[in-house]
Structure 1
């Protein structure tokens, strides 16, 4: 019975059993080679050539000809492995290499060999195998190239995460993605970043390392693109073959094929459970994605998503803060005849980028202009809100015609009565461009600077008073007025301490440095303002900055050739007579010519109105303004805040014709509020003086 079972088993064995070694090798995609180091010839059997993607007629017996199917990097790495084994006395070596096939695809091949040496240890022969190794289990742990790649990808993730920690805006994140030093070690052909906006994907960065990918700037989430797919599914998409690319995305593939893209990874960038963007990583000569590499790439996407979310939130907060700040500042700067004005505001770029610094330019009656620069304590929305209220109040007090000291005192009282614990520093000046006179007051603020026409710059020391709010609390509302004369071409500079604060230095040193910068700066005040802003940005201080520059123009500013003034009291006919004589003398001295009668008549009417319709005295001022034309100006100031009104006089009436007379005879006239009173003024264009006439009475 046992004999029959043995005979039956023997009859079932194939004729070629056991298989010959060459058959076993061929069936398992394995071949042999024998390398004679002395002659340099290497025998490679047909199965081994098949594993390497070659035929017998393509191989000439020299190892160098094997390089036609190996990428250059793989040839260099294999040579390094073999050379190291020969030098260090090893008996064997083993490594994985990539092989490039005719269709462009790549595959992994494992090679191992035994090194034969003579009695002296000199290597003379290498006998080994080439074996096809497609995704074999545990193969990655024995592949030095994958270990190196794992280290490289990990270092890229760490580096990008560290860099993104400092990215504050979306352009900063894009710069990181476009920086070859950040992502270049991943071997990428291109990086594409698309932001999810309004149900569509907006491509904002592409072509980081290679040629740009001509994908549409805007694509729909339902479109047949990989970026759209990962946004819909919220899952990464790894594309490992060119065939997969061509089949899955036929619309996109014709644009990628000429660029040599063979692999890609597309990631949804998710923040707080929703996709905010999508990232595409495109590769050339890239093998498949291992499990660990996929995890690292997903980790990289998470870091980029977090950095992008921070940047988006920062930009939203910054836009809100900037909008609030700009709403609190003047929307436009008025054109003041006889002056050039430049203003700037720069935030400290910390926190909410908002603060209490402000500037203002206030047109005043008679061609004068008020200029203010201030700083409310704090860097938050409350400081900005207080600043807005204080700026408007100060502007209103100035426009009412109050003196600079009164403007400052009333602003301090307002801030003290406001429901806030903030105080403010401020510098305010009233400039008269025709005469160049500037009246300045200071409330705990830094002194302004004056730049002369020759470029020299000096500090204007002002006596000053306590900051706004504090002076009212301590009942010390005195704000001394300092008067300076601004010559044509000279520039007044007013700023907040954000422009002069230097880390590690006191305020005086900062003002000295500012003086030097202004002295060496450009003449044009707009360019000078930009230069000062650049200094602040380079310094990177922790305070915002407001800047105001005012230059008095030199050629077309009406210049005062003289001024005469007379005080006229109620019930004093002698004073009224003296005022009339003063006006006649001025007209003769200044050569008013044929306008003399009109001027005398109008001036007499204004003086009479002031005495009849008010309870206090009047002040008559006559001055000649010269420049682009000669104009004689008559001003009558009284203590009544009631504005004059035109009235229709009856046929037999004697009252109500005064303002009609002024309007008919004067070239221009108007009324200015002056604190508790007003000034009624008029101007007459006068012909040039005749030769020999004097310019002063």
Structure 2
């Protein structure tokens, strides 16, 4: 006997219809999610510099790795460019939040730094003016940032820091350290903020390494441990090719199990020419004549 098929009830038909609709919505939602991820990644790629400047005796390398949580990308950046007076400028930073909005704000910060630096030759003043500019557009976001100027005549590196993690340096003869320069609040938080400047004359060959906190921190991995790990890598690779050193520093991020964006910028330098070069006099509390690195 052929089994009889019982007709589906109205409630069963409604359930199947609902399941079908939800499946279609989920498919559309997944496609929309992928599209937003691709847009954020494209924004990030386009806003990072296509090339970095260099000079005889100074070579630059960089790495960027997006976050590992879907749309959580777009907040970190690095940059390097040549100024009209011949100096080189470098910045690295991290924007509050992620996703397309953070990527767009990051682009604004990076462009503002470039624009202001062409008119101002003091890194602290650059950060101060960019801070006020960002507050004037009232986006409600903030960014940490380190900004460096390299003078090819004096072989001097000037730095200012806006709430960002410190740089790490080492020389080929074994000296090393974490540049605990005096800093100030992140950009976009307080009108009229000032940013102290620290000066370092590069009298010995070595490397300066700038990172974002995605390199240093991860689940159960504190910032201090990350700084110590990067410091070891930089000490061992101070004389290495900057591309190789950048790749080794990025491996620290992999070891922390980080979930955030991660960026690294390496400045690999030879020693300055022998002979004293007078450093400019700073304003009170502006900084100090820095150690070598």
TM-score class, shorter? 0.7 to 0.9
Partner of residue 154, structure 2: 435
Any residues of structure 2 matched to 1:603-622 within 5 Å, and which?
Answer: none
Partner of residue 249, structure 2: 532
State the alpha-carbon separation in 2 of the partners of residues 530 and 325 from structure 1: 19
Displacement after TM superposition at 1:315 (Å): 5.8
Question: Is the CA contact 2:93–2:145 (under 8 Å) kept in the aligned structure 1?
Answer: yes
Partner of residue 542, structure 1: 259
Displacement after TM superposition at 1:553 (Å): 3.0
Partner of residue 451, structure 1: 170
State the alpha-carbon separation in 2 of the partners of residues 354 and 338 from structure 1: 34
Partner of residue 43, structure 1: none
**Residues 341 and 564 of structure 1, relative CA distance in 2, 3 Å threshold:** closer
Any residues of structure 2 matched to 1:196-207 within 5 Å, and which?
Answer: none
Larger fraction in strand? 1
Partner of residue 422, structure 1: 141
**Residues 539 and 313 of structure 1, relative CA distance in 2, 3 Å threshold:** farther
- SS at the partner of 1:471? coil
Question: Is the CA contact 1:434–1:560 (under 8 Å) kept in the aligned structure 2?
Answer: no
State the alpha-carbon separation in 2 of the partners of residues 320 and 564 from structure 1: 49
Partner of residue 104, structure 2: 385
Any residues of structure 2 matched to 1:148-297 within 5 Å, and which?
Answer: 272=24
Deviation track 1:284-307 (CA, whole Å, cap 9, x = no partner) reads xxxxxxxxxxxxxxxxxxxxxx8x
Partner of residue 224, structure 2: 508
State the alpha-carbon separation in 2 of the partners of residues 434 and 560 from structure 1: 12
**Residues 342 and 455 of structure 1, relative CA distance in 2, 3 Å threshold:** farther
**Residues 317 and 480 of structure 1, relative CA distance in 2, 3 Å threshold:** same
Displacement after TM superposition at 1:540 (Å): 3.1
Partner of residue 270, structure 2: 553
Displacement after TM superposition at 1:415 (Å): 1.2
Question: Unaligned regions of 5+ residues in structure 2, if any?
Answer: 1-22, 280-293
Question: Is the CA contact 2:123–2:147 (under 8 Å) kept in the aligned structure 1?
Answer: yes
Question: Is the CA contact 1:343–1:547 (under 8 Å) kept in the aligned structure 2?
Answer: yes
Question: Unaligned regions of 5+ residues in structure 1, if any?
Answer: 1-270, 274-305, 566-697
Displacement after TM superposition at 1:313 (Å): 7.0
Aligned residues: 255
State the alpha-carbon separation in 1 of the partners of residues 208 and 97 from structure 2: 27
- SS at the partner of 1:420? coil
**Residues 366 and 564 of structure 1, relative CA distance in 2, 3 Å threshold:** same
Partner of residue 42, structure 2: 323
The reply to whether residue 481 of structure 1 matches residue 200 of structure 2 is no
Structure ranking higher on relative contact order (CA contacts 8 Å, 6+ apart)? 2
Partner of residue 496, structure 1: 212
- SS at the partner of 1:411? helix
Partner of residue 184, structure 2: 465
**Residues 456 and 350 of structure 1, relative CA distance in 2, 3 Å threshold:** farther
Any residues of structure 2 matched to 1:642-661 within 5 Å, and which?
Answer: none
State the alpha-carbon separation in 2 of the partners of residues 564 and 453 from structure 1: 24
State the alpha-carbon separation in 1 of the partners of residues 245 and 181 from structure 2: 24
Any residues of structure 2 matched to 1:61-140 within 5 Å, and which?
Answer: none
- SS at the partner of 2:80? strand
**Residues 562 and 416 of structure 1, relative CA distance in 2, 3 Å threshold:** same
Larger-gyration structure (1/2): 1
State the alpha-carbon separation in 2 of the partners of residues 564 and 501 from structure 1: 39
Q: For the aligned residues, what is the CA RMSD?
A: 2.8
State the alpha-carbon separation in 2 of the partners of residues 353 and 385 from structure 1: 13
Which of the residues 79, 82, 96 maps onto 1:360? 79
Displacement after TM superposition at 1:561 (Å): 5.0
State the alpha-carbon separation in 1 of the partners of residues 178 and 250 from structure 2: 19
Deviation track 1:258-277 (CA, whole Å, cap 9, x = no partner) reads xxxxxxxxxxxxx959xxxx
Displacement after TM superposition at 1:517 (Å): 2.6
Partner of residue 117, structure 2: 398
- SS at the partner of 2:190? helix
Partner of residue 231, structure 1: none
Question: Is the CA contact 1:435–1:560 (under 8 Å) kept in the aligned structure 2?
Answer: no
State the alpha-carbon separation in 1 of the partners of residues 63 and 278 from structure 2: 39
The reply to whether residue 340 of structure 1 matches residue 59 of structure 2 is yes
TM-score, length-normalised on structure 2?
0.78
Displacement after TM superposition at 1:398 (Å): 0.9
Deviation track 1:116-148 (CA, whole Å, cap 9, x = no partner) reads xxxxxxxxxxxxxxxxxxxxxxxxxxxxxxxxx
Question: Is the CA contact 1:336–1:367 (under 8 Å) kept in the aligned structure 2?
Answer: no
- SS at the partner of 1:367? coil
Deviation track 1:78-119 (CA, whole Å, cap 9, x = no partner) reads xxxxxxxxxxxxxxxxxxxxxxxxxxxxxxxxxxxxxxxxxx
Deviation track 1:142-180 (CA, whole Å, cap 9, x = no partner) reads xxxxxxxxxxxxxxxxxxxxxxxxxxxxxxxxxxxxxxx
Displacement after TM superposition at 1:356 (Å): 1.6
Question: Is the CA contact 1:358–1:375 (under 8 Å) kept in the aligned structure 2?
Answer: yes
Deviation track 1:589-615 (CA, whole Å, cap 9, x = no partner) reads xxxxxxxxxxxxxxxxxxxxxxxxxxx
Deviation track 1:464-505 (CA, whole Å, cap 9, x = no partner) reads 111111132xx4x22111111123421111111111113224
